[in-house]
Structure 1
Amino acid sequence: MSNTYWDPARYGLFGNERLRPAIDLISRLPKAASGFSPRHIVDLGCGPGSVTAVLADAYADQGDDTPRIIGVDSSDEMLETARKRSENIRWQKADIATWQPDDQVDLLFSNAALQWVPDHSHLFPRLMSFVRPGGMIAIQVPNNFLAPSHQLIGEAGIEWRKEVAEAMHAARIMRPGDYFDVLAPSCDEIDLWQTQYCHVLNGPDAVYNWTSSTILRPVMAALPDDAARASFTAKYKERLNQVYPIRDDGRTLFPFNRLFMIARKRAS
């Protein structure tokens, strides 16, 4: 996914809805008042930087211990937008799969990014190795892969079954218990939970507009030509609008599941 074009404007169409899970995750993190004052914070997959800015604000009131914050992303387009947001945050281009910090991290944060990185059973222990003893990770990943919004992609793309299946495999996560198992050897506090948000979207083809900025991107890139993409899009939109009908007031209800985890690395 590192070489695929990300459109910050299209991704930002649902800015409030995409920001809410990050705010919920940040709200569950301990702050300075409870004795947690991170000096080095990294936001992996920072995108346009909106979440990184919220994270910075959450730990801004630490006096002389104001943390160094780094936002990491592989997209030039996203980082260009992020750099306009704040000069106090260091923005770094890197692939999460191979990224490593210059020194140990106190808080390693990632919102809706790690699903694009393969092999979480090895990725998570690797990321934990970058966290200092007593430090924390805080991660949110979408868990909507069994919902109609995602399952209908395979139905609409049945003519290109192989290409679609391979593209869909680009985004994947493990079961909650699997994350517990990979974190438990190095962490003494692990908090896992799932939340379903019922997003209220506006306008026609609202769910398509949502998925087209995320999970559909590798699928559309994998289809053989413009004719195939047009045929797929027409079928997919039709089925989406049947399953997620637009209401008389012009709004569409879109249930969306997300998996959250916060873990503290064992001090010794």
Structure 2
Amino acid sequence: MSSNSTPYYFVPGLSRHPVMASIGLLGFGSGMTGLVNGYSWGAPLTIASVVYVLFVLYKWFGDAISESNSGQNSINVDVSYRWSMSWFIFSEIMFFAAFFSALFYARSISMPWLGDIESKLLWPTFTAVWPNDGPAGLVEQFSTMGPWPIPTINTLLLLSSGVTVTWAHHAIRENNQKHAVWGLAATVFLGAIFLGFQVYEYIHAYRDLNLKLTSGVYGSTFFMLTGFHGFHVFLGALMLAVVLRRAIRGDFTADNHFAFEGASWYWHFVDVVWLGLYVVIYWM
């Protein structure tokens, strides 16, 4: 078995996984398009695509894990993994930056413009305050989502999960497998509770506040930002659950545990994005 520090570069063979994943993501995008536009085939296609993509990722990462456990990943491959994960997280930062920018544009540029003197000629009763149901009165009245109690509780949950995943990381570096497993299990558990509260928050928004995806620019930005963040929490918890399973069976050592590090980087990114959302969406 080759050492992780062996100076060769393992090049895997041709793989069907990227093409299969692309097909699943295409189906997911098509399904979501149909879903938000009220087509009956939207929800089934979305659910089927998610299940299919998860199956592809299971097989794909299974192959990568087998390569790692068999000692084929040299230090060069480890460096490639680190750069790849770094660029992936950077792309996610740009993804959320686009939605934050859209919110900033709507609040700080479009809203004052709609309320200026020239616009008053078209909408004399319009008041340029945020949130807003629009100048034409086409959006149903809704109430905004405040920071208490669910968003604040979720903030505490994610901050706590950042502590537990860091505890697990230190435990792995010290070859303390027991504490690593406990820290990872606690992190996954906290992430699951976060998602449960977010589902309840959405039910409360639709049922009690009449706040929907169609509630003007406020509703669309609220659900797009918090919804995509919730999706990333789900992905992060899924990655950590896989890492937890590997930690239980003893795949990691103090010197070879990048799978855990990559997942923990992603989880910390999710934490930071939520702090931004918590301030901008719920307090401002």
Q: Please confirm whether the aligned pair reaches a TM-score higher than 0.5, indicating the same fold.
A: no
**Which one scores higher on RCO, CA 8 angstroms, separation ≥ 6?**
1
TM-score bracket for the superposition, by shorter chain length: under 0.3
- For normalisation by structure 1, the TM-score amounts to 0.25
Give the number of the structure whose residues are more often strand, by fraction: 1
| Bigger-Rg structure (1/2) | 2
Give the number of the structure whose residues are more often helix, by fraction: 2
